[in-house]
Amino acid sequence: MATSTYNLIANQVVGSGGASSVVFSSIPTTYTDLLIKCSTRTTYTGGSSGLYIVFNSINTGYSDIVVYGNGSTVSSYKDTNQAIVNAGASQNSASTANTFASTDIYIPNYLSSNYKSLSGETSVENNAAYTGTYIFFNAGVMANTAAISSITLTADASFVQYSTFYLYGIKNS
């Protein structure tokens, strides 16, 4: 049976003043899969802010499906031909004070010559506008066969101070 080894490639913590995006560049080619773990909050004032991902600065050929719910209702939507993939959600400035969304984004076979896919899972607490916690499940694809060498993460507004992003390489052996 194969075992997986997780290695931290890079991490970023948003400083004072916030950040409009987070970029991981020069991703090494020594792994089979990638995992991004995020704790995010934004300055967005609407509902939950989307957490979006772009590979290799390529802004075309994406599609995704999102399923989300709060324990009593479930909804979904699909985007096609987008410039980005919705990879999760982020807390917003109208949410419970000092609460950050937790997201995991898994990117298998990032070096393959096939289209690139991802899956995301997010938990968002918002006691100010909703009842309890929302959970989001996302699946996306980029119709491009280039190996992933950089990843850009954005949201509907700026990430606030202390939002954190960790990129792990996974090597199956």
First to last CA, the chain: 9
Q: Which domain holds residue 58?
A: 4-172
Q: Identify the pLDDT of residue 31.
A: 95
What are the phi and psi torsion angles at 163 (to 5°)?
Answer: -65, 135
Q: Identify the pLDDT of residue 14.
A: 98
Retrieve residue 169's tokens: 């390489």
Q: Identify the pLDDT of residue 131.
A: 61
Q: In what order do the strands lie in the sheet with 151-159?
A: 19-24, 151-159, 49-55, 85-90
Domain count, the chain: 1
Tens digits of pLDDT across the chain (173 residues):
566 789 999 999 999 999 999 999 999 999 999 999 999 999 888 777 888 999 999 988 999 998 988 778 898 989 887 777 887 778 776 677 778 889 999 999 999 999 999 999 998 886 655 566 778 899 999 999 999 999 999 998 999 999 999 999 998 76
**CATH number where 143 lies:** 2.60.120
- Residue given tokens 């390529």 in the structure block: 58
Q: Identify the pLDDT of residue 88.
A: 76
- Residue given tokens 């950050």 in the structure block: 100
What pTM did the predictor assign? 0.91
Q: What angle do CA 83, 50, 167 make, to 5 degrees?
A: 85
